[in-house]
Structure 1
């Protein structure tokens, strides 16, 4: 009897168990395989990302590609139609269900429901499923190659394969503030954030990306009337996602052309080559050359840019945005074709500009953000370079290179998840890193075999797998459910293949 453990019961962990159940039943593995799902929260299927009760915490992707099943991307949209559709109060849409942005909690309900149904099917097919409410904090590789998982409920479980799906790890930056009651080290769960901020406090938020915007929405949704100041090195807000992007046909930056480049020139795609092809496609659509330096939003006034983005999003987006979104299903392949050297160049040179374009704000929240800035309640400050605490004033001091010094009553770290393993505040990751069971990737996350999602580490062995943010360096789009469920399908196939003795039951 093979026993498989999934550590983490959020969207990725749930999707993995669902897919493993589907493949186990299809392979007739009744009484030959069992699963244990380890999740520290009482409710499974939600995680931090989809457990928020805040109405303004909405999906950053339309419903039509959010299906939890790898080969049924429209399943969530179909589920949504059957559960009230676009007329629900927790759905933001000016068109149809396929292009709707729903609350994250509603999506969490969907995932939890699919998981519950899958577990029932597994049990009906004599496949045992155990759900343990505890946190896994360490793993030992045993002499027989099995893995012993240590849990916070003072128990252990011995398994054949382990999938790491820890979700969104806290960053461990600003450790020296951890005992300061005015410092909130993570914006989730929202309850903690709201309990520790007064409605009239001047709140500083470290970060201007999607996590930071969610933090702003959490505050104002709950009656915050005080000043909110967002700080980041570049002060750039994400662009604005239309309800429905205009179609964009690429002629130059295509997989076919890049493969031809590899074949003819004998080297992997380079960052400069990719950018040149990107420019050619956009300018071909625009019918004229563009001033590309003008697109650099670093340290610029964000309100005019946000208002422009809202206006073009209402018309289906501009060429730059639609070009980026047209690459949704190709970027991970292109990334895998690049050398590590070129990946690092791209990350340092273009990474942040790509991120604000490709991971945009839903139109509904963008309009709210613009209103807050116009009313003077919210401001965006770039070039923050030092954060300190003034004991006498009981305030934080943020020193910036452009706008001087700011003082705030409360400070929230909403910089997003840490990229590098050593920056992740997760006891299991920390212990696996100490044992060299995980090998850090230079850009972030752990080194894996991208075809099977198996962690590559001599000391860790061949039975530990990882998905989601834990593999953010080797793979792109690991913050997207649609991408993660595809990697999970490959992972599940590998585990089932191994379980059936190389493909034969």
Structure 2
């Protein structure tokens, strides 16, 4: 009997266990495989992303894309309807349940419930499932290709196949500031932020992305009255997500056209080609040429941009926003067709603009941010250059490229999840990287076979798999549940085929 171990019990690890159990039940594999899930917290299904109790920490994706089952994307919307739907105070948005934006903790409750149901069903079919609440520290591979997982309490678990689902990795940046009590190295879990800051203090936030927005929401939801300043190199806030996007039709940036271009021209898609095709699609819908250079938001005053974005979102979004949204199911395939150099070019040239457009603020929270800016309680500063602690004033000093200096009483690192393996503050990832069981990809995350999710490395062997943010460079949209459950379905099929292939041949 083979032993499959999943390390990490957040949304990705839970989805993987669910899918593996579903397939194992259907294939009647009770005499072939057993499962162990290792999760350091006491709760399964939540993780960092969906364990936050703050009421304004909302999903930035509508409910009808959040089903935990790979081929049932609307399952969460159905569950939501059965559990109070729009009448709940933790559900936002003006449309029906399928277009609602719920609190993250509510989604965590959903995932936890579905995991529990699936485990009970598996046990009724004779499939062994063990849950261990501990932290995996390292993995060693023996001569028989088995994997020895060492836990924090020194226990060792032997596995035949291991899936790494470590969830949202904390960045290890600004290590020199960790010795100061007023520095918060990660905004999750939220109680750390609240314990280290006082309501009247001036709080500095490094970052302006969705993690930084959630940090602001944590503060104001808990009565913060002092000044809040967000710092980032570009000073760009995410755009605003409509409750329901208007439909647009693409004729140029399609998989069919890109495949034809590869066939006829003999080269893979380039960043410039993709942008040109995107422009053609947007301008075809608009019926006019647009001033694309004028849309550059770098270091521009974000308040009028946010006001305009809210107005646009209230009417269903503009063509650029909706075109990016329409690409959600094909973007990862397009990304996989590009070579590494073009991926790097796209990331450095267009990456941030794509991110703020594709991963937007829910309208409900955008209005709260705009209100704080209007009241003068929140400001955004671009081009931060140097961050240090002033021993004399006992404050943090943030200097910009223009020579301006800002002082804050406490400082939060909300720059978002670490991208590169070496930047992830995770002891297991650090050890696997040191042992060369994981190979770093140039754009972030680990090198994998994107078809099977198997980690490809010098010494790791062929029995370690990765999912979620751990593979953020080779794949796109790894912060989207709907995308992760699709990759998990392929991964589960691959693992179970390996286990049963002798019988299939």
TM-score (norm 2): 0.99
Q: Is the 8 A contact 2:448 2:456 kept in 1?
A: yes
> Any gaps of 5 or more consecutive residues in structure 1?
none
Q: Is the 8 A contact 2:439 2:458 kept in 1?
A: no
> Any gaps of 5 or more consecutive residues in structure 2?
none
What SS is found at the alignment partner of 2:307? helix
How many residues align? The count is 505
CA 1:503–1:330 in 2, change beyond 3 Å: closer, same or farther?
A: farther
Cα distance between partner residues in 1 of 2:31 and 2:127 = 6
Does residue 408 of structure 1 match 2:408?
Answer: yes
Name the structure 2 match of 1:343: 343
The CA RMSD over aligned residues, in Å, is 0.8
Offset of residue 457 of structure 1: 1.2
Name the structure 2 match of 1:109: 109
Name the structure 2 match of 1:434: 434
Name the structure 1 match of 2:369: 369
Cα distance between partner residues in 2 of 1:340 and 1:353 = 19
Cα distance between partner residues in 2 of 1:350 and 1:93 = 30
Cα distance between partner residues in 1 of 2:95 and 2:426 = 41
Name the structure 1 match of 2:359: 359
Cα distance between partner residues in 1 of 2:354 and 2:501 = 43
Offset of residue 267 of structure 1: 0.2
Offset of residue 32 of structure 1: 1.7
CA 1:178–1:458 in 2, change beyond 3 Å: closer, same or farther?
A: same
Match runs of 1:20-35 below 5 Å: 20-35=20-35
Name the structure 2 match of 1:390: 390
Q: Is the 8 A contact 1:270 1:342 kept in 2?
A: yes
Does residue 453 of structure 1 match 2:453?
Answer: yes
Match runs of 1:158-307 below 5 Å: 158-307=158-307
Q: Is the 8 A contact 1:497 1:503 kept in 2?
A: no
Name the structure 1 match of 2:328: 328
Q: Is the 8 A contact 1:382 1:402 kept in 2?
A: no
CA 1:346–1:18 in 2, change beyond 3 Å: closer, same or farther?
A: same
Name the structure 2 match of 1:423: 423
Match runs of 1:85-164 below 5 Å: 85-164=85-164
Q: Is the 8 A contact 1:235 1:381 kept in 2?
A: yes
Cα distance between partner residues in 2 of 1:503 and 1:375 = 68
Q: Is the 8 A contact 2:135 2:151 kept in 1?
A: yes
Cα distance between partner residues in 2 of 1:502 and 1:320 = 50
What SS is found at the alignment partner of 2:329? coil
Offset of residue 177 of structure 1: 1.0
What SS is found at the alignment partner of 1:144? coil
Cα distance between partner residues in 1 of 2:330 and 2:245 = 17
Cα distance between partner residues in 2 of 1:213 and 1:235 = 13
Cα distance between partner residues in 1 of 2:456 and 2:32 = 27
What SS is found at the alignment partner of 1:327? helix
TM-score (norm 1): 0.99
Offset of residue 503 of structure 1: 6.1
Offset of residue 401 of structure 1: 2.1
Offset of residue 504 of structure 1: 2.3
Offset of residue 122 of structure 1: 0.8
Does residue 41 of structure 1 match 2:51?
Answer: no
Cα distance between partner residues in 1 of 2:339 and 2:434 = 27
Cα distance between partner residues in 2 of 1:172 and 1:61 = 28
Cα distance between partner residues in 2 of 1:503 and 1:311 = 60
